[in-house]
Chains A and B, each alone.
Chain A
Amino acid sequence: MKFQRIKAVAKKEFLHVFRDPRSLGLGIAIPLILLFLFGYALTLDVDRVPLIVWDQSHTSASRDFISRFAGSRYFALQGRADSYREIEHAIDRREALIAVIIPVDFAGRVASGRMAKLQVIVDGSDSNTATIALGYAEATALSYSQDIAVQKIRRSGVIPPPPLLDVRPRVWFNSDLLSKNYIFPGLIAVIMMIIAALLTSLTVAREWENGTMEQLISTPLKGPELIVGKLIPYFVIGILDLFLAVIVGEFVFAIPLRGSLVLLFGMSVIFLIGALSFGMLISIVTKSQQLASQIAMVTTMLPAFLLSGFIFPIENMPLPIRAITHIITARYYVVILRGIYLKGVGLGVLAGEAGFLTVFGAVAIFLSIRKFRKKI
């Protein structure tokens, strides 16, 4: 390996990158779009669930009960229905996701201390929202029941006993339970993975497709020099994206950074080298840009989104899929980023993950050098 030749290749790649301002611009714009979408627009929290009510009882008790739903930030009262047909209509048209039906004998039963049966219908097609909305409905009904019970006990002149178990929860790491604190560190991992895949997966394949590889072959350039030289410009763009993400996280979204910034960058460098080399490996093996783009998507972007624990918890996956997640590098990087950002832990705790990333990076770069043949 000669430094001078690496420098020449890197210079050539830099020229490629700068000559094509749009690809460079998109390499910055795509991460920014993702950062702002996830920061502002996307949330997994469920509130303002559209609600429709069928009040068969028409009493002050039922109106009082409905006002509990209407007043809650979890529900948005969309209107009233007078028949199952109307409820069906509203749910089919997605005007309501949940319907509450108050029976004729509601007030009578509540007053006389019998259980009033409340019917709740949810649109189960969005299972996630439906489960959470049902939980809210149950909590609303429970607090209403408790209030009636307390009123009755007061009237009977008995002092209600306090609950025996006194739960005192303390939430660590994200005490306000903000979903952006959960999503943001993981998002950095996804962005780095996407950028690495988008940028490098095409570079060697492009030389093969355009025939410029022949020219490179005729030079004294060696395989490892070509690969290292090609990696350098994309590495610079990746680090630039990382800087952007950290700055946006700090100043726009105020994500707490409790651990060491140096460790964050160190780990990111290792991850980035692995991810870029893997993209390069895809490019070397496929020799076709269309094919490389598809393979890069399946082997890097999709797993980074779905199997890294970024949004969907790994613990909920069935065992075979959980086993697969162990070979997804983004998984370890997500753990590292969350550890540094939210938990403020150091290398002592993250050593296992860091070790895996290092091994993966070394294997990926070794394989891309091995697989590269300077032959037509």
Chain B
Amino acid sequence: MFERLKSMLTKEFIQTLRDPRMRFILFVIPVFQTLVFGYAVNTDVRHIKTAVYDLDNTPESRALTARFARSGYFDVTEYVVRNSRVPELMDRGIVKAVFQMDKGFGENLRAGRSAPLQVILDGTDSNTAGIVLNYIATVAARQSDDLLASRGGRSVLPQNLGGIEIQSRAWFNENLESRNFYVPAVIANIVLIITMLLSSMAVVREKEIGTMEQIIVTPIAKVEFILGKTFPFVLIGFLDVALICAVAVFWFDVPIRGSLVLLFGATALFLMSSLGFGLFISTISHTQQQAMMSAFFFIFPAMLLSGFAFPIENMPVPVQWLTYLNPLRYYLIIIRSVFLKGIGMDILWPQLASLAILGSAILAFAVQRFHKTLT
């Protein structure tokens, strides 16, 4: 048996790694993805492009503009001089916000009357717009307070109003960097795609180009065939995990606080699910096109319902139940916990157990369905 397995493995390794472009893809894609997630994915809202339409042009209006510019949230990129420029700037998306101060703004403030600040905001990106609205309110309130204070307005108020001061601390990711959240998760992404998509295509390829017939006439057993087909991708999967860990830690300074052994153990458990799915797809597909499309039919929901970018807590409750069947969900929790929280088996055992149960069920189902036949 070992002899046959060995020759099968040799064939598969040669086939997978023969093409230099394939070698490139298998080891460059993970690094590429890690870099993109490390650099491109940033949900912090800062430097909002802003235009100012100052019809008043008094020290007061200029002071307010300066205050907004100083806050770090707004970059004043243009001073509008005519009204028709405002819709143009907004339509073309050149700015996201326009501040308009009408004539009489400064005079009102000098007289201690309330003065309106008109704000036009691009609501296309609703999340960003909500945050920007908060920033505007905060900056305006501070300027308001300062104006009151400078006019001695506070003196009529009782002293010591008191209040609540928040002292916040973020555990596990002190500076709340989105990089630390996304980069480790790339591991799950890559392992899923490499093992599930490529392994299913590798099996179907034999059927499609007809070499399956040659394999059928050999004495190789079903289990040997499956092992031979999947093992190269297991190995590549592990290498990619190590590669991404290295880029995350040495290039992006993502902390790794937990045990690498646990991470690799969880990877092994997760591989049962993803290879199981890959095998299952290969049993229902006759062409690589079918295999690829079926794989993506599983990959998209698995990724989107895993908590990778969209929080599971915000999904409708029935969909939340559905996520319990998603192996990626457990794997992601383990990866992020190992990297950022540094917690161990004592806390992560439910996730590990779920991975093991789902993995063995899927793998058993797929192996049982898998036949060494032509159809």
Q: How far is the CB of B274 from chain A (nearest CB, A)?
A: 16
Q: Please tell me if the beta carbons of B162 and A37 are within 8 angstroms of each other in the complex.
A: no
Set of chain B residues within 8 Å of A109, measured between Cβ atoms: 162
Set of chain A residues within 8 Å of B341, measured between Cβ atoms: 92, 125
What is the size category of the interface that chain A forms with chain B?
Answer: 35 or more
Set of chain A residues within 8 Å of B250, measured between Cβ atoms: none
- Tell me, in angstroms, the Cα distance from A51 to B170 when the chains sit together: 14
Set of chain B residues within 8 Å of A92, measured between Cβ atoms: 337, 341, 343, 347
- Tell me, in angstroms, the Cα distance from A160 to B114 when the chains sit together: 13
- Tell me, in angstroms, the Cα distance from A77 to B285 when the chains sit together: 48
- Tell me, in angstroms, the Cα distance from A160 to B145 when the chains sit together: 12
Set of chain B residues within 8 Å of A302, measured between Cβ atoms: 33, 36
Nearest B residue to A49 via CB reads B313
- Tell me, in angstroms, the Cα distance from A317 to B46 when the chains sit together: 11
Q: Please tell me if the beta carbons of B126 and A174 are within 8 angstroms of each other in the complex.
A: yes
Q: Please tell me if the beta carbons of B178 and A297 are within 8 angstroms of each other in the complex.
A: no
Q: Please tell me if the beta carbons of B25 and A295 are within 8 angstroms of each other in the complex.
A: yes
Decide if B47 is an interface residue (CB 8 Å cutoff). yes
Nearest B residue to A296 via CB reads B292
- Tell me, in angstroms, the Cα distance from A169 to B132 when the chains sit together: 11
Q: Please tell me if the beta carbons of B117 and A165 are within 8 angstroms of each other in the complex.
A: yes
In A23-55, which residues have CB < 8 Å from any B CB?
23, 26-27, 29-30, 33-34, 37-38, 40-50
Decide if A345 is an interface residue (CB 8 Å cutoff). yes
Set B33, B170, B288, B316: member contacting A290, Cβ < 8 A = B288
In A121-150, which residues have CB < 8 Å from any B CB?
121-132, 134-135, 137-139, 141-142, 144-146, 148-149
In B79-98, which residues have CB < 8 Å from any A CB?
90-93
Decide if B197 is an interface residue (CB 8 Å cutoff). yes
- Tell me, in angstroms, the Cα distance from A124 to B174 when the chains sit together: 7
Decide if B371 is an interface residue (CB 8 Å cutoff). no
Set of chain A residues within 8 Å of B285, measured between Cβ atoms: 22
- Tell me, in angstroms, the Cα distance from A355 to B136 when the chains sit together: 36
Set of chain A residues within 8 Å of B121, measured between Cβ atoms: 169-172
- Tell me, in angstroms, the Cα distance from A286 to B347 when the chains sit together: 46
Q: How far is the CB of A18 from chain B (nearest CB, A)?
A: 14
What's the dominant secondary structure at chain A's contact region? helix
Q: Please tell me if the beta carbons of A30 and B126 are within 8 angstroms of each other in the complex.
A: no
Known: A112-B162, A163-B144. A171 touches B123 (CB 8 A): yes
- Tell me, in angstroms, the Cα distance from A153 to B193 when the chains sit together: 63
Q: How far is the CB of B69 from chain A (nearest CB, A)?
A: 16
Set of chain A residues within 8 Å of B198, measured between Cβ atoms: 290, 294
In B179-221, which residues have CB < 8 Å from any A CB?
180-181, 193, 197-198, 201-202, 205, 208-209
Decide if A181 is an interface residue (CB 8 Å cutoff). yes
- Tell me, in angstroms, the Cα distance from A317 to B47 when the chains sit together: 11
Q: Please tell me if the beta carbons of A286 and B161 are within 8 angstroms of each other in the complex.
A: no
Q: How far is the CB of B110 from chain A (nearest CB, A)?
A: 10
Q: How far is the CB of A51 from chain B (nearest CB, A)?
A: 12
- Tell me, in angstroms, the Cα distance from A198 to B300 when the chains sit together: 13
- Tell me, in angstroms, the Cα distance from A144 to B161 when the chains sit together: 12
Q: Please tell me if the beta carbons of A290 and B163 are within 8 angstroms of each other in the complex.
A: no
Decide if A298 is an interface residue (CB 8 Å cutoff). yes
Q: Please tell me if the beta carbons of A114 and B160 are within 8 angstroms of each other in the complex.
A: yes
Q: Please tell me if the beta carbons of B293 and A210 are within 8 angstroms of each other in the complex.
A: no
Q: How far is the CB of B10 from chain A (nearest CB, A)?
A: 19
Decide if B32 is an interface residue (CB 8 Å cutoff). yes
Set A29, A125, A286: member contacting B336, Cβ < 8 A = A125
Set of chain A residues within 8 Å of B37, measured between Cβ atoms: 306
Among A225-233, A238-246, A336-344, the one that faces the other chain is: A336-344
Set of chain B residues within 8 Å of A121, measured between Cβ atoms: 168-171
In B8-49, which residues have CB < 8 Å from any A CB?
19, 21-22, 25, 29, 32-33, 36-37, 39-47, 49
Q: How far is the CB of A188 from chain B (nearest CB, A)?
A: 15
Nearest A residue to B347 via CB reads A92
Per-position 1/0 for B338-363, Cβ under 8 A of A:
00110100010000000000000000
Nearest B residue to A325 via CB reads B40
Q: Size of chain B's interface in residues, with CB distance under 8 A?
A: 118
Q: Please tell me if the beta carbons of B309 and A293 are within 8 angstroms of each other in the complex.
A: no
Set of chain A residues within 8 Å of B117, measured between Cβ atoms: 165-168
Set A148, A167, A298, A320: member contacting B32, Cβ < 8 A = A298
* A141, A165, A172, A318 — most chain B CB neighbours (10 Å): A165
Q: Please tell me if the beta carbons of A37 and B90 are within 8 angstroms of each other in the complex.
A: no
Decide if B297 is an interface residue (CB 8 Å cutoff). yes
Per-position 1/0 for A155-181, Cβ under 8 A of B:
010101111111111111111111101
Q: Please tell me if the beta carbons of A123 and B36 are within 8 angstroms of each other in the complex.
A: no
Q: How far is the CB of A246 from chain B (nearest CB, A)?
A: 19
Decide if A91 is an interface residue (CB 8 Å cutoff). yes
- Tell me, in angstroms, the Cα distance from A339 to B87 when the chains sit together: 13
- Tell me, in angstroms, the Cα distance from A276 to B259 when the chains sit together: 45
Decide if A120 is an interface residue (CB 8 Å cutoff). yes
- Tell me, in angstroms, the Cα distance from A307 to B35 when the chains sit together: 12
Set of chain A residues within 8 Å of B119, measured between Cβ atoms: 167-170
Q: Please tell me if the beta carbons of B22 and A125 are within 8 angstroms of each other in the complex.
A: no
In A98-122, which residues have CB < 8 Å from any B CB?
109-110, 112-122
Nearest B residue to A309 via CB reads B125
Give 5 nearest A-B pairs by CB, closest first: A124-B173, A145-B163, A124-B170, A113-B160, A174-B123
Listed in ascending order, the chain A residues whose CB lies under 8 Å from chain B are: 20, 22-23, 26-27, 29-30, 33-34, 37-38, 40-50, 65, 91-94, 109-110, 112-132, 134-135, 137-139, 141-142, 144-146, 148-149, 152-153, 156, 158, 160-179, 181-182, 194, 198, 202, 206, 209-211, 286, 288-291, 293-295, 297-298, 302, 306-307, 311-313, 315-318, 320-321, 335, 338-339, 342-343, 345, 349
In the complex, besides A128-B43, A178-B126, 11 extra interface pairs with C-beta distance below 8 angstroms are: A26-B293, A45-B314, A122-B170, A122-B171, A126-B311, A166-B116, A173-B123, A202-B289, A289-B292, A302-B36, A318-B39
